[in-house]
Amino acid sequence: MVSSVRNLLCLTILAVLASTGYAIHCYSCSTLDNPKACKKNATTLTDCSTVEPPVHLSKLFKVGNATGCMKRKVKNPTLKQTGTQYDCYFGDVSNKQGCEMSDEVKKLNFIKISCNICTEDKCNGSDSLAPIAGAIILFFSVAHLLT
């Protein structure tokens, strides 16, 4: 009896930890206009299921729902200005085609320096592993209590 309750509890905990929902949540902000716009207090967490794909990407490929989060660094060599854009990523995460910049940003003479894509919630913000470590510690703590 105790064994079946323990197994059920472990499965429930695993299901809760694994079910992050069907929509990915990403940080959205840009330092192109304001270098201080993306400070920790000013970043916006966005439910990417509520965000429409950028129009410029639909010219390149069939765009569906967001597939990840993006952190794109850009540079304007003329103005010697760099910026970072944090946003939802639309497209195949393996080929980075969704990293293309909009025509408005290209008109400002920005060129792409790098584009990092990730597929976990809130992964384009802080580089901290604290949420993952916390979930792992919680799981093993409960498992230890049940043994």
Question: What pLDDT digit, counting tens, does each position of 84-106 carry?
Answer: 999 999 888 888 888 888 888 88
State the DSSP H helix or E strand holding residue 96, giving kind and residue range, or none if neither: none
Q: Which residues contact 106 (CB under 8 A, 6 or more apart)?
A: none
Length of the chain equals 147
Q: Which residue has the tokens 């901290």?
A: 128
Q: For the domain bounded by 25-125, which CATH number is listed?
A: 2.10.60
pLDDT tens track for 105-140: 888 888 888 999 999 999 987 444 445 555 566 666
Residues 86/29, Cβ–Cβ less than 8 Å = yes
